[in-house]
Chain A
Amino acid sequence: MRHRLAVWFDGVRRSVWRIGWPVTDKDRAAAMISSLFLHIHSARVSRHVLKPTYTFALGLVSGILFIVLSVTGLALMLYYVPYPPEAYRSMKDLQFVVTFGIVLRNMHRWSAHAMVGVVFLHMCRVFWTGSYKPPREFNWVVGVLLLLLTLGLSFTGYLLPWDQLAFWAITVGTNIAAYAPVVGDQVKFLLLGGHMIGPMTLLRFYVLHCVILPLAMLLLISLHVWRVRKDGLSGAEISASPTEERAGVFPASAKTYGLMGLTTRPRASVEARDPNDEVFAWPHLLYRELLVALAVIVVLHVVSLVFMAPLEEIADPTRTPNPAKAPWYFLGLQELVHYSALVGGVIVPTLIVLALLVLPYIDRGTSGSGRWFAPERRLANSVFTTLAVVSVVLTVIGTFFRGANWAWVWPWK
């Protein structure tokens, strides 16, 4: 009886996992390949990309933050009412009534802020290592769209608490949109769902924030990660040794890709790898990822227990706080807007986004790809670094050096 139960139980387990707990490297490779979730990775990965100082796991951390945001966001939806002034009251409920409501809200807020920063750093890392080089040009484009979606999600989330900070940040933000030539006023009208910020605006931002943008994000993240899997990581070329050395050890045709023959483009980054420089993704990559995920979640918990997400007074359309500041990641933009709304709010951001989108099709060739600050990429890296530093400096000025009437203040006074 006991034996038959064990056999039955084993049958159930096998229907779920198909193979047992892997013991040998071959088993582990099979486990990676046979699971939908683990199959995001190749069975073997280059040692080069496993070095923490190569990627700093920034893409992975962005992904983990997106998962944390989805989970905490879904939980918050159970108490949040997207209609003023109940929206503000439900924030108060989360703060004072719902058990651990404040922790979940803090976690949602701080994860969102962290994600903006981490995604920006991830972009910098990819640029500085020349990782948008062929065959990964299109994945850079997807990454730029993901950066825009991250900002869009943060911005649409900003109105939802319906406090003063939210109301006036959205006022400023949608008025910047109105400066766009030709379509500006229509875009503002569509975003607001009317002429002024009201219940219709809140509902629109709610649907954008909770359904439309997250779905778009999920789709593009899947594409982004899938392309990393298919195009290979840029570090692979570095560890590749000359063809004659690896010939006979593991012929290129032995690789899964070659057997599948599903692609027509040269797969240099995959096939040029020296098998002796590769390790099995399980455990080398998988355990590192689990460790990073654990670290991120622990840090988020500590931060969420110590630092409270701000909630100002209820939104008051008749009273503008002084200064009315946008969320910090838009304060660089606000600092630019302070000089000219059209140039700073529309023209400069549009040019930056366009430049980022076409970048891999202008800066072509594979030279210097896969290494930090490769000398042959000195010009590209200098230009990008300058822009990144300027945006950081503008953000710091907008955050710490601007007071009432947007006048210059010294933060230590």
Chain B
Amino acid sequence: MTTDRPRLLERPDPVRRSMFAIGCIAIGAATAGFLAATLRFFVPNVLYEPSRRFDIGPPSGFPPGAVTFLPDRRLYVFNGTDGFYTISSVCTHLGCNVKRGGPGFACPCHGSQFNENGQVVQGPAPKPLAWYSLSLSPHAHLVVDLDHPVTPEFRLRA
């Protein structure tokens, strides 16, 4: 041995190398944890929104054979011969309010058209308009639940 080579240029000590790997994994895991926590932070736990389940009043408020539009709820309420049902006015394409025109519904934004059951007749809408479940509250009021979609066979006799 004529020269003292710097330690860095020697072959790495296996123990030091595995300690280094463990350190890297630990720091990586901690960073990933903090990132996940930060991402979770952005998901609100409390929403100050109107309830997804709400009372729309007594059945007598909806005349037989008529269609009532509740603009604040973006909802059409039907009182048909075989019972009550609701169809959402939110276009399934990009969320505009559909308008009743003729027997069905038409969307002003991108030209989607739906039949009287909310099925897509024409246009870019990928899905039919949503139907929501109706039930009667203990006070015999109609209650809509936006978290419970139903099929177009749904009717509530009240």
The residues of A with any CB-CB pair to B shorter than 8 Å are 168, 171-172, 174-176, 189-190, 193-196, 198-200, 317-324, 334, 337-342, 404-407
| A194 contact set on B, CB distance < 8 A | 44, 47, 49
Which of B96, B108, B110 has the most chain A CB within a 10 Å cutoff?
B110
CB <8 Å contact, B108 and A320 = yes
User: In the assembly, what is the distance between CA of A221 and CA of B20, in Å?
Assistant: 36
Chain B's interface: helix, strand, loop or mixed, by majority?
Answer: loop
Given A174-B95, A320-B97, A342-B126, 11 further pairs, Cβ under 8 A: A168-B96, A172-B94, A175-B93, A176-B94, A322-B109, A337-B124, A338-B111, A341-B124, A405-B106, A405-B107, A406-B111
Contact with A along B15-33 (1 / 0, CB 8 A): 0000000000000000000
Q: Is the CB of A324 within 8 A of B108?
A: yes
Q: Separation in Å of the B125 CB from the closest CB of chain A? A: 8
Task: Report how far A196 CA is from B90 CA in the complex, Å.
Answer: 11
Do A190 and B97 touch across chains, with their CB atoms under 8 A apart?
Answer: no
Residues of B within 8 A of A189 (CB): 43
CB distance from A247 to the nearest CB of B (A): 38
Complex contact A320–B109 (CB within 8 A): yes
Kindly list chain B residues whose C-beta atoms are within 8 Å of the C-beta of A195: 47, 49, 52
Q: In the complex the two chains form, is A406's CB within 8 Å of B49's CB?
A: no
Can you give 13 A-B contacts (C-beta < 8 A)? A171-B95, A175-B95, A198-B49, A199-B48, A322-B109, A323-B109, A337-B110, A341-B93, A341-B124, A342-B126, A404-B108, A405-B106, A406-B109
Chain B contacts for A337, CB-based, 8 A: 93-94, 110, 124
**Which of A171, A198, A320, A407: most chain B CB closer than 10 A?**
A320
The answer for the CA separation of A176 and B44 in the assembled complex, in Å, is 21
B111 touches A318 (CB 8 A): no
Query: Quick one: given A195-B49, A318-B74, A339-B124, are A324 and B42 in contact (CB under 8 Å)?
Result: no
* Contact status A320-B43, CB under 8 Å: no
B110, A406: Cβ atoms closer than 8 Å: yes
Residues of A within 8 A of B10 (CB): none
Once A189-B43, A340-B124, A342-B126 are accepted as A-B contacts, the answer to whether A407 and B96 lie under 8 Å apart by CB is no
Contact with A along B104-116 (1 / 0, CB 8 A): 0011111100000
Q: Which of B49, B72, B106, B108 contacts A318 (CB 8 A)?
A: B72
Q: Are B109 and A172 in contact (CB under 8 A)?
A: yes
A193 touches B44 (CB 8 A): yes
Which 10 A-B pairs rank lowest in CB-CB distance, beginning with the nearest?
A318-B71, A322-B108, A175-B94, A320-B97, A175-B95, A320-B96, A406-B111, A324-B109, A172-B94, A171-B95
A318 surroundings in chain B (CB, below 8 A): 71-72, 74, 97
Contacts of A175 in B (CB 8 A): 93-95
**Nearest-CB distance from B17 to chain A (Å)?**
26
A322 to B97, CA, bound (A): 10
Contact present for A172 and B96 (CB under 8 Å): yes
In angstroms, Cα B97 to Cα A35, docked, is: 57
Q: How large is the interface on B (under 10, 10 to 19, 20 to 34, 35 or more residues)?
A: 20 to 34
A190 smallest CB distance to B (angstroms): 6
In the bound complex, CA of A199 to CA of B95 (Å)? 18
Q: Which DSSP category, helix, strand, loop or mixed, fits chain A's interface?
A: helix
Interface centre among B72, B124, B126 (most CB of A within 10 A): B124
Q: Which residues of B contact A168 (CB under 8 A)?
A: 96, 109
Q: How far is the CA of A198 from the CA of B71 in the complex (A)?
A: 16
- Give the nearest-CB partner of A404 in chain B: B108
Contacts of A324 in B (CB 8 A): 96, 108-109
Whether B108 lies near A405 (C-beta < 8 A) is: yes
Complex: chain A residue closest to B42, CB-CB = A190
CB neighbours (8 Å) of A321 from chain B are 108
Q: Are B94 and A341 in contact (CB under 8 A)?
A: yes
Minimum distance in angstroms from A168 CB to a CB of chain B: 7
Indicate if the CB atoms of A338 and B110 lie closer than 8 Å: yes
Contact partners of B96 in chain A: CB under 8 A: 168, 171-172, 320, 324
In chain B, positions 17-68 with a C-beta closer than 8 Å to chain A are: 42-44, 47-49, 52
Q: Which residues of A are found within 8 Å of B126, using beta-carbon distances?
A: 341-342
What is the minimal beta-carbon distance from B69 to any residue of chain A, in angstroms?
Answer: 9
Which of the residues B49, B108, B110 comes within 8 Å of A196, measured between beta carbons?
A: B49
What residues of chain A lie closer than 8 Å to B48, measured between beta carbons?
198-200
Please give, as numbers and ranges, the residues of chain A lying within 8 Å of B110 by CB-CB distance: 334, 337-338, 406
**Which residues on the B side are within 8 Å of A174 (C-beta)?**
95
- B108 neighbours in A (Cβ, 8 Å): 320-324, 404-405
- CB-CB nearest in chain B for A190: B42
**Which residues of chain A come closer than 8 Å to B111, judged between CB atoms?**
338, 405-407
Most chain A C-beta atoms within 10 Å of own C-beta, residue among B49, B72, B95, B124: B95
Taking CB atoms, residues of chain A closer than 8 Å to B93 are 175, 337, 341
- Nearest-neighbor residue (CB-CB) of A321 within chain B: B108
Q: Which of B72-102 contact A (CB under 8 A)?
A: 72, 74, 93-97
Residues of B within 8 A of A407 (CB): 111
Q: Which residue of A lies closest to B93 (CB)?
A: A341
- Give the docked Cα–Cα distance between A234 and B93 (Å): 45
